[in-house]
Structure 1
Amino acid sequence: MTEHVNAGNAAFVDADYEASLQHYGAAIAAGGSADAYSKRAAAQLQLARYAEAAADATASLKLEPTLKAHWRAGQACFALHQFEAARAAFADAAKLEPSSRELKRWLRKCDAEVECATGAAPSAVMPPAAAPAPPLAPVTDSSKIRHEWYQSSTHMVVSLLARGVAKQAVSVTFGEATVDVAIKLEGGELYELSLHLYQKISPADCKWSVSPTKVELKLKKLSPGKWEALEGSGEEKVHAINAVPSEAEEGPA
């Protein structure tokens, strides 16, 4: 089962989410661990398969109530407009990490959506795997765009979660230790992000892409190693990678 999870992690880092689903699925078939379900939920989220992500996160939580599984359940339910269920999941995550500013921000977003909801209140029950995800409109409010990241020994991958962005509306500039992104949203608003990176990168080897749900930046590290953070001053602080090959790349935590 471990080899399937490691293969899924490697595919996830390479943004081959369909392949990562297959590997995590094989791990689940071999033993059905909470970790495998949670990581498959992360891959489902990347592919905007929110109902499936909610189902996998729920399966993971039944086996082991981890922070990441609660978080992914919340993200999936929020995308499905199940705001009360999302809030419950983020509240459970906050019990495990009460100092998280990101979780507090998600809780505020859920509260705002519940307050603004009209008609029947959203169900607090996790949606079943068969529930269809509603169409998602392009993002028009820059304040609703957030970014997340993960890494391997050689790359940092940054995802800007922005739906329905046209490739021609995106501008990305890679510097020696900086990244600047500008996105012109529908409606004319401009979203801008400037990152001052923890360590230097190789601009010529960096890439970016646009999918229906996000803008993804793949940053090539100038020196292999594990960064302690995405941003900051990490001179002489990068950890050397001494792990065995199967652990050299990190998938979703």
Structure 2
Amino acid sequence: MASAEDLYKQANDAFFEDDYDEALELYNKAIEMDATNPEYFLKRSATYQKMKKKSKESLADAEKALSLIESTEQNEQNSIKAKALLRKGIALFELKNYQEAKNALESSKELNANEKSLATWLKKTEAELEKIPKPKPTPPDSTGFLSQSRVRHEWYQNENFIIISIFIKNVKKETVDVYMTEKSLSVTVKLPTGSEYSLELDPLAHEIVPKESKYEILSTKIEIKLKKANAGAKWGVLEGEDTIVGSVAYPSSAKHAKNWDALEKEISKEQEKPEGEAALNSLFQQLYKDADDDTKRAMLKSYTESSGTCLSTNWNEVSKGHVETKPPEGMVAKKWTS
């Protein structure tokens, strides 16, 4: 009866004659008789690679050989390990795992730089890696994470709350810290760059009720609702001394809000003009008086930014950007210069 070594030699002869089916059968028999020799697994791994579409089996044999090598002498171990890593690298290459293939081949090179066909497979692997598109750096602005100086915040109010919006996209809850007292607000956001954004309002223009205040993290912003201690009071500014009594606040990144009451007075003066325009202004005022907060904001923003040529009650639409001037058909809008 043939020994495992005899079967291994017969398998090698079949391999060199390109009879891979015969070689595989003989290597299988040799391994059945002696499953401790890493060379048997290495040659069967090479056979699988020659047979194509057997990359997974080839990889398994290469890894088995590596696990058996630990028990051999150091010099022999390095030589066999280099071969095993080469086989592993080739199998990974054929499985299109090019980065892991390169790692295995480079490890083989460290043990035996003269290993047959190693240099060829390294070049092929590096060529495939070069074909893979490298990810482009993501500009900070495209993710919504901006520097401290470029983060925008706005605020407005209703009878009961001051609403502050900080426009940073895709913020994670665990990166946001909001702290309130009766007269102060502190907001800190940790950005992926490692830096921090902070908004410090101390002292607030008027007192708030921290326990009834809250904040919400949305996809495009952080929205903070400060409960007014004195419901119905109109804040002229967010921070510091409030000298604008009775003004209606509107979203603004500045500390001082625009006096929209004055705008209402200007609109009321328009009633002195010819009947048709006076009637239009009267309608505007009536709509404004009976509207909810979002509708009022939409009307004021659309009317002022369009120079009186557009009046919208849809805040979702108006809030998206500047409202363009749209003069009547046949007329052209011009800017006044002093």
TM range (shorter): 0.3 to 0.5
Which one has a larger percent helix, Structure 1 or Structure 2?
2
Which one has a larger percent strand, Structure 1 or Structure 2?
1
Report the TM-score, using the length of structure 1 for normalisation: 0.43
Greater RCO structure (CA 8 Å; 6+ sep): 1
Report the TM-score, using the length of structure 2 for normalisation: 0.33
